[in-house]
Amino acid sequence: MEQKSFHMTPDEFRRQGRAVVDWIADYYERVESFPVLSQVKPGEIRACLNPEPPMQGEAFEKILADVENLLPGVTHWQSPNFFAYFPANTSGPSILAELLSAGLGVQGMLWATSPACTELETHVLDWLVDALALPRKFKSDSAGGGTIQDSASSAALCALLAARERITQYQINARGVNERLVAYASTQTHSSVEKGVGIIGIGRENLRLIAVDENFAMRADELAKQIQTDRAAGLVPFFVCATIGTTSSNALDPLPEIGRICRDAGVWLHVDAAMSGTAAICPEYQTLNDGVEFADSYSFNPHKWMFTNFDCNCFYVADRAALINALSILPEYLRNQATESGAVFDYRDWQISLGRRFRSLKLWFVLRYYGIEGLRYHVRQHIALAQNFAAQIRASEKFELVAPSPLNLVCFRHVNGDAFNRQLLERLNASGRIYLTHTILNGQYTLRLCVGQTNTQARHVAEAWRLIQQVARELEGEK
């Protein structure tokens, strides 16, 4: 019946696969030659693309060659001169494990649909509890456990759902009753919590943004007060998000105090350590986790700072039943013996989507290729480079620190005010030589420099500092 085939043969796959592998190796060798922040204008990339999809297939070589035309539109997250946002770093073993995952092409929605996909995930998530000195209650042999989500946003959403259902005895999911629930975060908490509160139907107005102290950390006393006030008004406090390393300034919320408040109030505590959780791989930073023992859920992103390509968020819960009860569905066509035996995890009940990739492979590869010691070494290097940069800002007459720099993010500004700093940032990014982003702290326009890209070394940070000073001098000269 099928004499014809348009599929790539295994032999062509070998040949083209090598070409793509080489393309990527070449890319990393020349990545510093591109502007870090893409300099194209809206529509410029689309203008290079065929307006219509091809009717006839094209040679793989031609398609791969055309990737070159996309490069001007790429912002190079894997450039060692990328200091913007938080990083989304990666590494050779992670990229190759992602390739393996795509090649195997399994879909791990249920244990039965690929037991190795589920069991390896459970296993490496347990490994990370040990490696990061997280509470034992997050391990799979307790009542809790961990799973891989695509992002910290999804983790926060799942935490919100589990909390919403627990407090209402699983009645919102079932009946949509409105219990006048209230959630809490700080003014510095990641926007995904506000987005999640909107999604689950609580109403963004019912998210209280608690004031922060001079270090941009949540004020535990204000949290306690607000919970009391809300309860007195007949509202139902149900969820607090505390952060280890906020997005704006890497602020560290006081977890032990917040944790005790949540415990006493019977409120779900979610800890968002998306960026900074990785630091706890080093014993000297494990104090970051003080207070996590109070958390009902916790998440951090190996896809930010643990050399594992996006997407890979690790999400832990202390009581997996609360999560599963909030998200479980079981249509007939998904029934199977393993599920009914209760002896396995079906991770589709731990997340929003049904389907899921074999993402634990890349974590497994990274943890084994680097070893805990290798990861520690590079995390320490990044922190040292950022601390060194902060010291230079501190010593400078023209620049000042705007927030503490506990780890690998430095928030700073030129003393010449907001307009000057905005111009400075624009000119730096337009140079293509480095990429920084900004935030506003204490009402002031602030530059952020985060050291976390895999290949960032001392010379890159030194050159960034040199360039920042030089462009600032140029701008001063123009005034």
Residue 198 in the binding site for a copy of itself (CB under 8 A) = yes
Residue closer to a copy of itself, measured from CB, 57 or 477: 57
Residue 56 in the binding site for a copy of itself (CB under 8 A) = yes
Residue 40 in the binding site for a copy of itself (CB under 8 A) = yes
Q: Which stretch binds a copy of itself (CB under 8 A): 117-125, 213-221, 256-264, 289-297?
A: 117-125
Q: Which of 35, 36, 76, 472 forms a contact with a copy of itself (CB under 8 A)? A: 76
Tokens 């480095």, located at residue: 434
Residue closer to a copy of itself, measured from CB, 232 or 329: 329
Residue closer to a copy of itself, measured from CB, 391 or 458: 458
Residue 334 in the binding site for a copy of itself (CB under 8 A) = yes
Residue 209 in the binding site for a copy of itself (CB under 8 A) = no
Residue closer to a copy of itself, measured from CB, 374 or 432: 374
Orientation angle between helical segments 320-327 and 152-167, nearest 10 degrees: 90
Instruction: Report the b/e string of 252-271 with b at 16+ CB within 10 A.
Output: bbbbebbbebbeebebbbbb
Residues 400-459 that bind a copy of itself (CB under 8 A): 437-440, 448, 454-455, 457-458
Residue 98 in the binding site for a copy of itself (CB under 8 A) = yes
Residues 138-157 that bind a copy of itself (CB under 8 A): 150-154, 157
Cα–Cα distance for residue pair 20/12, rounded to 1 Å: 12
Q: Which of 81, 94, 147, 186 forms a contact with a copy of itself (CB under 8 A)? A: 94
Cα–Cα distance for residue pair 228/460, rounded to 1 Å: 49
Q: Which stretch binds a copy of itself (CB under 8 A): 105-113, 222-230, 392-400, 401-409?
A: 105-113
> What track of x and - describes contact with a copy of itself for positions 335 through 374 (by CB under 8 A)?
---x--x-xx-------xxxx-x---x--xx-xxxxxxxx
Residue 128 in the binding site for a copy of itself (CB under 8 A) = yes
Describe the strand order of the beta sheet including 145-149 as a list of residue ranges: 145-149, 313-317, 297-300, 268-272, 236-243, 181-186, 207-210
Long-range pairs for 329-338 at CB < 8 Å and ≥24 separation? Answer: 334/109, 334/110, 336/110, 336/112, 337/112, 338/110, 338/111, 338/112, 338/115
Element (H, E) at 224: helix 220-232
Residue 57 in the binding site for a copy of itself (CB under 8 A) = yes
**Strand stretches in 290-404, DSSP E:** 297-300, 313-317, 399-401
Residue 467 in the binding site for a copy of itself (CB under 8 A) = no
Residue 166 in the binding site for a copy of itself (CB under 8 A) = no
Q: Which stretch binds a copy of itself (CB under 8 A): 195-203, 216-224, 314-322, 468-476?
A: 195-203
Describe the strand order of the beta sheet including 409-414 as a list of residue ranges: 399-401, 409-414, 444-450, 437-441
Residues 237-256 that bind a copy of itself (CB under 8 A): 247-248
Sequence-ordered list of residues with C-beta below 8 angstroms from that of 180, at least 6 positions apart, any chain: 206, 234, 235, 236
Residue closer to a copy of itself, measured from CB, 18 or 473: 18
Nearest partner of 37 among 90, 68, 91, 77, judged by Cα: 77
